[in-house]
A and B are shown apart, each in its own frame.
Chain A
Amino acid sequence: MTPPLDRRQFLLGASAIAAGSVLAACSSGSKGTAATSAGAAASGPSVAPASGGAVTTEKISLNYWAWGTPQDPFVAAWNKANPNIQVKHTDAGGGTDSSAKLLTAARAGDAPDAALVEYTTLPAMIVGNVATDITQYVSSLKGSFSEGTWGQTTFNGAIYGVPQDVGPMVLVYNEARFTQLGVKPPTTWAEFATVAEQVRKADKNTYLATFSPAEFGNFAGLSQQAGGQWWKVDGENWTVGINDDASLKVADFWQDLIDRDLVSVEALFTPEYNKQLNAGQILSWPSALWAPGVIYGAAPSQAGKWAMSRFPQWTAGDDKVAYQGGSAVVVTSSAKHPAEAAQFAAFINSSAAGAQIQLSTGQYPASVVGQQAAIKSAPPVLMPQQKDFWKLASEISAQTIPSISWGPNVNVASSTFQDAMKAAIANKTKLRDALAVTQKAVVADMAKTGFKVTG
């Protein structure tokens, strides 16, 4: 039982509270990045013994930061084959968290030797002096990847990473409900709108799909498929085209669906969304090849009811496919043994042994050898009835657009995009205006940093 506080005790108490709150402010909550990379449907990995280990006399150790299920078996396989180059794996968080930490660590000269980075943040890693030019170590790997995939790690002729997984865009849909409602998977975006209308007519509680204002990577993919070039580099000069005609066309397309109440508008994988998914009230997700694992994670009861098809096209008969998600392994500026780190990246991402590990953990490999091996794998658990899943996947993967490039401030673009889209939805303003806001912020940020930029 204390007497009422006097002034001095009170001030001391107040400063103590303030000190405590500083600590609270410093501890950052880690944000889950929904649907960025591989959705994992894990089974026990079968590690094939690695052959052709690196030759070195002294014993060295490498640090490797990466997220996702295949990483531990990757490292185990490498360490077994290379007793003199031991790799230590650290999970530093998903794509967004991990890249923020890499930038800080590299500035302190304390980054790991190798790290997994999403394709979208790779340019930011280059200008942030995290990723180093590894052309001299890995140029011979060019033939191990498709042109579109390899292009994602090559900038101005220099190679900055070895692709690990890719996410060619596909449509996953609730086949059982489609049959029940008498609709077919759309092959064009015009058909997509028609099917959305039919679904609404057939069942007023059901939507064909969801528009989420937070899905930056998805929208970027949709725009790229339509011909959008969000960032383009030509020598010294950047061009930013986030509100180019193709992207505005995509915005207007979704605007129309939203205005006519033909798609639901909400964040993905909230308890709300998951409930609708389980109840068969959200019937499709235009996303990427890793989607079955993610849907299964949220709605395991739907296994056997869903299927995958080619992405809808703007022009009937086209086969344009963009990427959503996917990542590559970079060697950092802090690496003391860049050659060995590059060798490690090449082994896990382009060898047959590495591909087997990826497939057994549900990841779609970036390498050609991995994609060929995938054809013989069992379909994802969400759609065991779709026997041609991986065959279709490799066909789609071969058709990806080769000229996709990302800019040095995708983080600014994605955070501005998400808030502008949220505001557009909340205030019932136009989605295309949100693209203009994003464009303006991205150009201003690049100019401030000192890039030569037009847009």
Chain B
Amino acid sequence: MTTNSGVSTAVRATELRPLPRARNGRRRNTFAPYVLLSPALLLYAVFLLIPIGYAIYLSFQGLRLVAGGAFGKRQQVFVGFDNYHTTLADPEFYSGFGRLAIYGLIAVPVTLGLALLFALLIDHPKTRAKSFSRTAIFIPYAVPGVVASLLWGFMYLPSTSPFSYISKTMGGGSIPFLNLPLLFPSVANIAIWGGVGFNMIIIYTALRAVPADIYESARIDGASEWQIALRIKIPLVAPALVLTGLFSLIGTLQVYGEPTTLSPMTADITQTWVPLMKIYRDAFTRDDLPLASAASVLLALGIVVVSVLLLLATQRRAFGGNS
């Protein structure tokens, strides 16, 4: 369960850091940087490298009966690639990614679109009550995911849903929020509701960092606010958009809390609905930590690959080619 997608990127970032040079050209105190780095490296090793190593080790183990007998004792033995084979041969693992993709295709664009829209609206010179709006949009981010899921769960269940109440009053039936095909938008909506504010703040911060004279000269040249937003603001905040996009993508791959909380309320969310739910079930319901470790390693590798691909695809555009 302890795997990390940022390992390779963090290592690369560390390598990029130029070594400190002595002022008079002579190298001295060469150990000083390592001493200064040691607390960080130590924490990094204890809380990341060792758990990751242990997870990889576990993924090659299995609990098997060694002595036999109807009530023989299970022991941890080396099983090679068994767990990887089991995971990759399990259709539920792929279905989980399929459902994740549908969820992500709804959640990521809507979250980013709304965040960008709200950031641009708040940045518009004629907008009033800016700090109030900013706070109001941000507040859902402060609501814990489980609480948000329960809150929305109540709003989705037919007997307690205000939306279903309205639809019933108007002569329709209750709205099946928690059944397919509405289930995906319903689950994504919880993440969108909580995520828009956070992403908006990042984009808005980037917008505020743009020097005001750029807008001034654009206005002198006759650009409308609409043109300024489209041709100046959006291109200038592209790095922030890539950043929020990556956050949202990683968040999507790790979705767990919302569907788990909603699961008891609907037959359409199984215990293996998304990959992390399957990993949790294998580890803690079925007591098969090794199998869960193998799936975690695969999921982490997947996240690294997707993140790197996203960076490669966007970095030249977003960062102007400098690295």
Contacts and interface: CB of A to CB of B under 8 A. Distances in A.
Contacts of A267: 264-267
Interface string A413-428: 0110011011101100
Contacts of A214: 264
B160 A19 contact: no
B68 A7 contact: no
A3 interface: yes
Contacts of A412: 286
B32 interface: no
Interface in B249-304: 250-251, 254, 256-257, 260-261, 264-272, 276, 280-281, 284-287, 289, 296, 303
Contact of B73 (A4, A127, A425): A127
Contacts of A14: 6, 9, 243, 246, 307
Given A17-B247, A238-B70, A270 B209 contact: no
Contacts of B217: none
Interface stretch (A72-80, A142-150, A229-237, A302-310): A229-237
A11 B10 contact: yes
A22 B2 contact: yes
B68 A8 contact: no
Given A7-B323, A236-B68, A272-B157, A15 B6 contact: yes
A13 B271 contact: no
A16 interface: yes
Interface in A271-289: 271-272, 275-276
A11 B12 contact: yes
B10 A15 contact: yes
Interface residues of A, number: 75
Contact of A451 (B9, B70, B265): B70
A12 interface: yes
A236 B70 contact: yes
Interface residues of B, number: 79
Nearest to B79: A448
B137 interface: no
Interface in B144-164: 146, 153-154, 157-160
Contacts of A275: 159-160
A12 to B, nearest CB: 5
Contacts of A19: 4, 6, 48
Contacts of A5: 239-240, 243
Contact of B6 (A18, A26, A415, A421): A18
A202 interface: no
B71 A271 contact: no
B190 to A, nearest CB: 15
A155 interface: yes
Contacts of A123: 71
A451 B209 CA distance: 66
Contacts of A97: 284
Contacts of A370: none
Contacts of B65: 127, 449-451
A419 B1 contact: no
Nearest to B10: A15
A156 B71 contact: yes
B73 A129 contact: yes
B257 to A, nearest CB: 7
A237 B6 contact: no
B74 A127 contact: yes
B63 to A, nearest CB: 7
B5 interface: yes
Output the residue of A21, A408, A421, A423 with the most chain B CB within 10 A: A21
Contact of B4 (A18, A415, A423): A18
Given A13-B243, A18-B6, A22-B4, A8 B268 contact: no
B319 interface: yes
Nearest to A269: B264
Contacts of A136: none
A126 B71 contact: yes
B206 interface: yes
Given A2-B205, A266-B267, 6 more contacts: A10-B239, A18-B5, A213-B267, A235-B70, A237-B70, A426-B267
Question: What are the 4 closest A-B residue pairs judged by CB atoms, nearest first?
Answer: A15-B6, A18-B6, A450-B65, A15-B10
Interface of A: 1-8, 10-19, 21-22, 24-26, 28-29, 31, 34, 96-97, 100, 103-104, 107, 123-124, 126-129, 155-156, 158, 213-214, 233, 235-238, 265-267, 270-272, 275-276, 408-409, 411-412, 414-415, 418-419, 421-423, 425-426, 448-452
13 contacts: A18-B6, A19-B4, A19-B6, A271-B160, A272-B265, A411-B285, A415-B271, A419-B270, A423-B270, A426-B267, A448-B64, A449-B64, A452-B70
